[in-house]
Amino acid sequence: MGDGSSKDKVIIDVKSAFKCYLDAALKNKDIIPDSENLNKTRKINISMTRDRINRLDVHVKRLKTTRSGL
């Protein structure tokens, strides 16, 4: 995982890693940094299960932000 043997595998690995990060951060009630605090940002699109999206929505509501704000 993450060996970058092809562009498609790298994208799959990055999406998987991000989903794992979100799961852990939401479970641990960690602060997810606001994208405005990052020097350089790039828009990405990911697919998530409905349950994960619902948990994410609860988290962003608590932070008074949006999914995009994460």
Q: For each of the chain's 70 residues, which pLDDT tens digit applies?
A: 456 678 788 888 888 888 999 999 999 999 887 766 666 667 778 888 899 899 889 988 988 888 887 7
Rg of the chain's alpha carbons, rounded to an integer?
13
Q: Is the pTM of this model over 0.75?
A: no
Q: Where are the domains of the chain?
A: 7-63
DSSP letters for 4-70: -SSHHHHHHHHHHHHHHHHHHHHHTTPPPPPGGGSSS---------HHHHHHHHHHHHHHT--TTT-
Q: How many helices (H) and strands (E) does the chain have?
A: 2, 0
Rounded Cα–Cα distance for residues 31 and 46 (Å): 20
